[in-house]
Structure 1
Amino acid sequence: MRIKLCMAFLLCSVMASAQNLNDLLVAGLNDAERFANSYLAPVTEAGIYSVSNGWYNSADAKPLGGFEVSIVGNITGFKNKNDKKAFILDTADYENLTFDDGSTSRQVSTALGDIDGVIVNVNANIEGQLVSEQFELPTGLADDISFIPTGYIQASVGLIKGLEVKARFLPKINTDDVQIGLFGAGLQYDFTKMLPADKLLPVAISAVIGYTNLNGEYDFTDTEAIAGENQRIDANISTWNFSAVVSTRKIPVINFYGGLGYIVGKSETDLLGRYEVATVSGIPIVYNDPFSITNDVSGITANVGTKIKLSFFRINVDYNIAEFSTLTAGINFGFR
């Protein structure tokens, strides 16, 4: 249940942040989409780095028939990521937005930020209708928290000659408002299994490839944030993790591992449904499926961790250093 709540938190963070963008529609689609790109990019980037982790806790691949079932949790922090909490909004880059205080450029919050009280005006002719509105730009998650949690269930099975297959999933969450699901698959190949003296070596060296997909939908029609119907947000995060891993393997109870990897990810956030923007004349401007925001992310990661073995029960913890660093912990059951 806690794993489901963690994943719900991640995706709802993205989707709730996107919902905050409703007011921007009064400034027209171009302004709303431009703001949404800058506002959402950091939270989706953090999500990509978070779900990419946890693919391994050893470089020593399991033998034929060996298996392990794991409960994996990640905490991705952004407390000190000030460059990800705000961006400069220059009204010269927007068609219809102006600041209430008369300034032309100032820092505003991203979905990870905590800048509030920024008031903007819209007084413009948009699609043939006069729009006159004043509203506050959305703030972000840092008002309440400084990390994003994620989690999932993962299983690994050893095949022949150092090959190990992996799968991860999150049992689908389906409520009246939210639907969330996660799946992924990976491969690990232990190169030391090719060596004649494999059983004598104190370390193992592996390559790991893992793919993760997280998808969710949030229906917020009942919030009445803006008139319309079937209003919802669809968010999708997909990532690839390519890593080289080394670990000790001859110590009976505790072993250590580390890896160097490269993450490639993509997020897509779609604002869907019908939206009716109020105008001075009373004739609303209607938008259907207003816009889609895409964010591509890539970067180098490095981690170090330890794994404690107690019979068929194991615990592992590692810290991953990347653009968004992540603490990962796993509870593992199985046998080799």
Structure 2
Amino acid sequence: MPALAFVLVSPAAQAQDEVGEFIRAGKEDASKLVRAYAEPAGIALGHNLNSGWFNSGQAMKPGRFDIRIYASAVFAPDDAKTFDISKLGLKQIRTSTGAPFDPNRPVLVPTVFGEDREGPELTVYTRNPLTNQEEEVVSFNSPPGAGYDVLPFPMAQVSIGLFKETEVAVRFVPKTKADDFEGSLWGVGVKHGLKQWIPGVAAIPGFDITVFGGYTNLTSSYGLDVPLTEDNQMYATQQQQSPTYYDGQALELKTKAWTTSLVVSKTVSVITGYAGIRYSNVETDLNAVGKYPVVAYRTTAPYAKYVDDVVDPILVKMKDAQVGGTAGLRLKLAFFSIYGEYTFAKYSTAMAGIGLGWN
């Protein structure tokens, strides 16, 4: 399985099939539901991409390099496992009894990181212009969570030492396709040694201090399948009933993650311990593209039900930033090294990997 396709088995892909049902509620309510349900995964993915950039506080010397392969995982906090659907201000969605959700009576339902159980039944209503009464259009349950709160991600990285204790790291995955998934990734990071600029510190053997900055860009797309339901065939045109008419539906995820760290390390023989402070910033756009069938009433005579083609119905922008403390260990034996680290933050991350090279 290609590295990016690995995301398909994580909570980040759990929303793929659920978004289709949300869209049937119309743009406004669907966007609110998608944000509440999927935002924790979009944020977690970005913080995960910001981990694993370094394994010591020392920049490599000019011409030296290493190739690293590692796996990282991010852990969702408890408050990212549920959301209160009564606080979303839904317009067309009601409870199973047809009553609007009462913001004074919390209704907690799973996010993508929540328990593997369905939430309450949601019923979509639209107003009949002839009777001026609201009528039920479709019902579905709020989707279950993945059943676990960990989002894993594999990565490969090449680092090379340049001049003046400056090291450059590069991540790159070309466009990858697997079934309904397509994605690509690239990233670049720079580490610079500060020890050389601090009088007195340069003389301390085995001690190093560096500053690091890195940026990662991930673009992925998941195919969606939101067809006409059997109940709605009667309201569709002949063209809309074509088996290929709603092809091209997809869920797009674009993540930009950048991070800065101050890292200190101490090397004793073949073991290096390192610790630092990490700032992590995440911006993720989640878009549903293509056209989707949504039942509505015509606003002019004969005021009949019809299938409205809603185009590109969802654009959700998610942002987050956090500061955390990082600690790790590296064991280096000749050209081979193994290492692991943990970052303590709201969205904590753990990482373990191996490296090969002359560093």
Contact 2:7 2:13 in 1 (8 A): no
The within-5 A match list for 1:290-329 is 290-329=313-352
| Corresponding position of 1:48 | 46
Q: Deviations over 1:265-301 (max 9, x none)?
A: 1000110111012458552121011121110110102
User: Bigger shift: 120-129 or 267-276?
Assistant: 120-129
**3-state SS of paired residue (2:24):** helix
Identity of aligned residues (%): 25
| Corresponding position of 2:37 | 39
Which has a greater percent of helix? 1
Structure 1: gaps of 5 or more residues: none
Once residues 84 and 130 of structure 1 are traced to their aligned partners in structure 2, the CA distance between those partners, rounded to angstroms, is 34
Contact 2:58 2:210 in 1 (8 A): yes
| Corresponding position of 1:133 | 138
| Corresponding position of 1:254 | 271
Once residues 127 and 306 of structure 1 are traced to their aligned partners in structure 2, the CA distance between those partners, rounded to angstroms, is 67
Contact 2:26 2:294 in 1 (8 A): no
Once residues 24 and 296 of structure 1 are traced to their aligned partners in structure 2, the CA distance between those partners, rounded to angstroms, is 22
1:173 aligns with 2:176: yes
- How far residue 306 of structure 1 moved from its aligned partner, in angstroms, is 0.3
| Corresponding position of 1:207 | 211
Q: Deviations over 1:210-234 (max 9, x none)?
A: 001111011123x748683311011
| Corresponding position of 1:230 | 248
Once residues 315 and 57 of structure 1 are traced to their aligned partners in structure 2, the CA distance between those partners, rounded to angstroms, is 9
Once residues 108 and 81 of structure 2 are traced to their aligned partners in structure 1, the CA distance between those partners, rounded to angstroms, is 10
Q: 1:217 aligns with which of 211, 214, 221?
A: 221
Q: 2:118 aligns with which of 112, 116, 119?
A: 116
Contact 2:24 2:293 in 1 (8 A): no
| Corresponding position of 2:263 | 245
- How far residue 24 of structure 1 moved from its aligned partner, in angstroms, is 2.3
**3-state SS of paired residue (2:48):** helix
Contact 1:50 1:76 in 2 (8 A): yes
Q: TM-score, normalised by structure 1?
A: 0.89
- How far residue 160 of structure 1 moved from its aligned partner, in angstroms, is 1.1
**3-state SS of paired residue (1:230):** coil
Residues 92 and 240 of structure 1: is their aligned pair in 2 closer, same or farther, counting only changes over 3 Å? closer
Once residues 2 and 270 of structure 1 are traced to their aligned partners in structure 2, the CA distance between those partners, rounded to angstroms, is 23
- How far residue 27 of structure 1 moved from its aligned partner, in angstroms, is 2.5
User: Bigger shift: 1-10 or 271-280?
Assistant: 1-10
Q: TM-score, normalised by structure 2?
A: 0.84
- How far residue 49 of structure 1 moved from its aligned partner, in angstroms, is 1.1
Contact 2:227 2:292 in 1 (8 A): no
Contact 1:218 1:232 in 2 (8 A): yes
User: Bigger shift: 297-306 or 130-139?
Assistant: 130-139
The within-5 A match list for 1:25-174 is 25-78=23-76, 81-90=77-86, 93-101=89-97, 104=102, 105=105, 106-114=107-115, 115-125=117-127, 132-142=137-147, 145-174=148-177
Q: Deviations over 1:192-220 (max 9, x none)?
A: 13467736433100000000111101112
Once residues 225 and 107 of structure 1 are traced to their aligned partners in structure 2, the CA distance between those partners, rounded to angstroms, is 30
Structure 2: gaps of 5 or more residues: 230-239, 241-245, 298-303
Aligned residues: 328
Q: Deviations over 1:141-167 (max 9, x none)?
A: 12xx33111111111111111111111
CA-atom RMSD, angstroms? 2.5
Q: Aligned partner of 1:209: which letter?
A: G
Residues 271 and 254 of structure 1: is their aligned pair in 2 closer, same or farther, counting only changes over 3 Å? same
Q: 2:292 aligns with which of 262, 275, 284?
A: 275
**3-state SS of paired residue (1:141):** coil
Residues 21 and 7 of structure 1: is their aligned pair in 2 closer, same or farther, counting only changes over 3 Å? closer
Q: Aligned partner of 1:119: which letter?
A: E
Q: Deviations over 1:58-99 (max 9, x none)?
A: 111111101011002102123xx3211111112781111111
Once residues 126 and 285 of structure 1 are traced to their aligned partners in structure 2, the CA distance between those partners, rounded to angstroms, is 15
Once residues 29 and 322 of structure 2 are traced to their aligned partners in structure 1, the CA distance between those partners, rounded to angstroms, is 29
User: Bigger shift: 93-102 or 305-314?
Assistant: 93-102
Contact 1:26 1:131 in 2 (8 A): no
Residues 94 and 196 of structure 1: is their aligned pair in 2 closer, same or farther, counting only changes over 3 Å? closer
